[in-house]
Structure 1
Amino acid sequence: MPSVGQRIEAYLGNLLSSKRGRDAGLLTRQPPFDKIEPTLKITSDVGPSGTILPKRYGNDGGNELPTLTWEKVHDAQEYFVIAEDPDVPLPSPAIHGILYGISPEITSIQHADIKNVDSKKRTIKNGSIKYGKTLMRTAYEGPRPPLNHGEHRYIYTVVALKRPLETLPTYPGKADFLKAIKEDNVLAWGEWIGVYERKLK
């Protein structure tokens, strides 16, 4: 039987069901990305972009990060990955993960990479990848849309850079990346979308 808290959440989810689609606030809708077409192909072992994510990927399940794989970009010196939910009933998309400082030799991120977290240094994968600010202040947080709010899109974007981002603060947020990234530094970007929904049973 649903708890009182779950019933309240589901009521609010229904009430706010039209509050979604904050796509204009996504990283790739901002300068300089709004002038650069996506050309980087991103794939996942979960399925094609737009796939419904099984429960193990949800915050209420196993909280797993979907494996993301991309093509190696010639001349790339660094990659970064950001996961956003534009359907959350908030003024702007919720950030579920920012992984950056990714070596040009790495062309895949998987759940095992976020298990070895150093919260003091803000790194994962034995210190080889850094992480930025998220909604829950963790390296990565799986989907958790409000009950009965409908399907949410979780947009995983990979960006290939010509040179490392050296002007970022120690624990950067999305706004810091937008300030640091210049148009002439973006080689390519692409996205993969997973869909998740929670319903009151």
Structure 2
Amino acid sequence: MQLPTRHLKPVTIRRPGQADVQADAILFQKHDPSARGLKIHDPEFKTPSWRGMFQRDAPIQEAGYTVIDAQGRTFTPDGDPEDPGGQGVALVVRLNPAAERTRLQSLTFTLPGALVRQPGTGNMVSSSAGSLTVTARLTHSNDPHVVQLVGADSASTAIIGRWGTLEHPTLTPPGLNDGSQCPLDVDGQPGTLTIMLAWPDEDLKTEQQFGARWVGIWRVKKT
């Protein structure tokens, strides 16, 4: 058995580094009656979740993909696909359509090179091996454990980041490690972002779908 073809619409299933795969699916919004996002003191723009109903042979069994419909909208899954009733007829997965609303940051790091002797002082210092520009998604964190971990104070902000975009999540870029720094302006305020500690996900599928996670600290540039 298969889904009735008259209801199916063409979609593109995209995985980073792989060729796009064309598939047929039914995408529809799921009603959510919860009141999340209605608090005046902590507002949140709520996006209704979607569902995707795919043919049973669609390549969506493994995390790390996005779905693009005929209108160019991008959807990211937030769970494994289900086989309703175990009938082997279709795969259903919950989707989020908010990729185009995600704020992205372009970060340029200076990569350390070989040790060289500094003229005048004779000290051995690291030379520059060039620069690396990467994309990341940054979130301010008030979690006391994260704040304490990175040593944030009144002139700094604790940051949780993920590498890449929702369409192209990545693992930690080669050459970056604890202590790597880059300039970062926040609302016009210049500062420096420092990667303090890798903080990998316990769930490997979360990392595969949304990119490697890390923590850091942003400090206001001293004048």
TM-score computed with the length of structure 1 as normaliser: 0.23
Greater strand content:
2
Greater helix content:
1
Larger Rg: 2
